[in-house]
Structure 1
């Protein structure tokens, strides 16, 4: 922040959230900056339809932007009824007040949509304050307030009165507008750098996928004789490799269905893996749910060391996604949306890597049942997945090669992720400094204005 000017005249605020501000500024509750109280969407669950008025919840905010792709829709009649209480307009700010507390977006245009109760709608009393409020809500100071004041019984929740009374810095409207212009320009630069790192991560993932697919379908020897696999989307494979179906090398165990009534029955509580736990090539065991089952069900659904876990469905990217189970948790079972494949013919790691290859993913997609934004595949169709079986020593060589490649990819990806986190921290720090008066941007000039003027003169 050394390159920026600072305010010479600062004052202590006696506010625990924002301890000092420029002397001409105030600390006020949010409602003082708004036209009326903050409102939220309906608390009822409406009837959703295929086409109609977009209806956003907190998942409709991603990276401080409104995302309408994959959103729900409500009827015009419901929209009219809900609009009597709350209707977002251009210049409003949306704040996540349930589950993902603190998510924030600015309504930039007049698109017709409405919101559900997890979103609060903030209507500034002056349109020039809108972006300033939007940036304040992204600052350390306001995010901390949202976190501290949120109740967390089953999930975090911010009350409407609490939102109305959040402590905000309040400069003059002209100064607030200047700060917003500055942050529009500077955060856009940082966002561009973040986007480049995210793009690089995606390219690395694509390269990883290509390396997997080539190694497990063509092998490591480019001069080996090839043969037609007999599978249209698989093409040629090494001549000496065996081709079979998954059902010939493994047994598929289905998981337990939730919701069985155990009233009056003896039961035990055990950990259970869900779709969310089974990621692409690894397990996320940060949050493993417990389930009550009858004691005799434990043996039937118990996961065994070396089981290859595969997701039955979800979004298309979750279809067939899997990893190898290595007894990370004692007495763990799996739900019916996660298959456990047990094989003694080939290594679990080989089966796992095959299911991550592009040809297998295509098979899963082709054989799946598709509905709106969701897909699922049956155990019967998974059994028909083409399996390539090189000789033992060649499988070992390919797995070793892939592990070395994965280590390199992981190092590069981790560097990108670290850069993204550093840039996000820099972005938040800059916003906090600007909206709380730690830096003085009153004399800042938008460099793009001169460029635009030059363009107009040369036209």
Structure 2
């Protein structure tokens, strides 16, 4: 698919817009929208502004973990046609024209329409790359994640307006083409999930049944685990650790108040390090005196750390520790007897094995308090092959995982290309780089052709 440029252009007078088609006009945002704040509608549905989806009902997604306030009376009313902006994430694209009635956070900016332009065209325009760059230029703050969109500067942003018929044509074109691209992205994402499930199944089978199909088996004595190789042991994790301090929860939160935000040489490691595996990140430190006082919580190379809250059960073995430090209150440290269980093998189990996640799920359902603790970790059932068998399993699982990981990587690369194409297509259409006035929706979509174009 290719489109020609417009036959004639003119200077927009706006540096970041450049030349625009002759016949298009520009107005400031304030001429089209007025900011307002209507509250007192607690019974309306909750809406969220997503970078990828625009304004949608919060209940339609299961990946939004921001807990709304108990009192929704201060939340702002959004009507269909309103412009809603997450002021702290506008520079990431969390902007959109709503097609729903509902309420949004008091921290959002909400603008009522005062125009007769095509809303869906404006929706695509305000979410294109050029405008997202504009939000970034008009956002201020000390840290990137705390930048706020400055409303007065934003109100003066130039809004690019083709004639109304062209607006509706551009919107129809983009609705059709982005839907096709989104379908391909969804297909790739389903394949990613399938590959992850197969990878998980291969690992779970290997760490509970072994690599030799003819080996004698025995009943594990655990209903949900079934049979395991006869020469493997069934242990509780507390039987595999070094000593009484082998499983250590982090210090109470009150012991970690008034942390330094400049490098003292003694770091506080937490969930972000465990989830990412990057122990060089983070900006929390303690002075040497407090590090010494909290030395029971210090980390060493070879330690295994687990998250207690949020992303429950994430696990890493520390192979490199950039500087001395302690764990925070949301982390559990494990030190094992390496002659019984290889720390790398235990990391694999805690991070990947289905029977471990089964136990954690059972604990979560029956828990009075949320989160893991040292008792839960200590009583995890661990299937322990002989040391030489652990080495062999690690090698085989690594080889099998690499094949699945390559497939996942290929799919993720395809998703990246499709998203780039989607963004480029929107930007080209709403800024007049391509002329879609003669476009007509095809009788039938041919997704394979689009997939070929994307790669």
**Same structural fold, with TM-score higher than 0.5 when normalized by the shorter chain:** yes
SS in structure 1 at match of 2:96: strand
The residue aligned with 2:190 is 199
Aligned: 1:290 with 2:268:
no
The residue aligned with 1:132 is 121
Aligned: 1:96 with 2:86:
yes
Pairing of 1:21-420 with structure 2 (within 5 A):
21-34=20-33, 37-39=34-36, 52-56=43-47, 62-69=52-59, 72=67, 78-79=72-73, 86-99=76-89, 101=91, 102-110=93-101, 113-126=102-115, 128-154=117-143, 155-250=146-241, 251-260=246-255, 270-279=266-275, 283-285=277-279, 287-293=281-287, 294-297=290-293, 299-314=295-310, 318-344=311-337, 345-355=340-350, 356-368=352-364, 375-420=370-415
Between the aligned partners of 2:136 and 2:442, the Cα distance in structure 1 is 36
The residue aligned with 2:13 is 14
The residue aligned with 1:456 is none
The residue aligned with 2:428 is 433
Q: Which runs of 5+ in 2 are unaligned?
A: 446-455
Shift of 1:173: 1.9
Q: Deviations over 1:402-445 (max 9, x none)?
A: 11122222222221111111111111110111001111111211
Between the aligned partners of 1:366 and 1:383, the Cα distance in structure 2 is 15
Q: Structure 2 vs 1, CA of residues 114 and 367 (structure 1 numbering), >3 Å: closer, same or farther?
A: same
Between the aligned partners of 2:399 and 2:180, the Cα distance in structure 1 is 36
> How many corresponding residue pairs?
424
Aligned: 1:421 with 2:420:
no
Between the aligned partners of 2:180 and 2:256, the Cα distance in structure 1 is 56
Q: Structure 2 vs 1, CA of residues 328 and 200 (structure 1 numbering), >3 Å: closer, same or farther?
A: farther
Between the aligned partners of 1:138 and 1:237, the Cα distance in structure 2 is 54
SS in structure 1 at match of 2:284: strand
Q: Structure 2 vs 1, CA of residues 164 and 449 (structure 1 numbering), >3 Å: closer, same or farther?
A: farther
Give RMSD over aligned pairs.
2.9
Q: Structure 2 vs 1, CA of residues 415 and 261 (structure 1 numbering), >3 Å: closer, same or farther?
A: closer
Between the aligned partners of 2:300 and 2:81, the Cα distance in structure 1 is 56
Between the aligned partners of 2:159 and 2:248, the Cα distance in structure 1 is 56
Asked if the contact 1:61–1:103 (Cα under 8 Å) also holds between the matched residues in 2, the reply is: yes
Moved more, 239-248 or 325-334: 325-334
Q: Structure 2 vs 1, CA of residues 179 and 334 (structure 1 numbering), >3 Å: closer, same or farther?
A: same
Shift of 1:168: 2.1
Q: Structure 2 vs 1, CA of residues 273 and 97 (structure 1 numbering), >3 Å: closer, same or farther?
A: same
Between the aligned partners of 1:262 and 1:435, the Cα distance in structure 2 is 50
Q: Deviations over 1:204-227 (max 9, x none)?
A: 111111111111001001111111
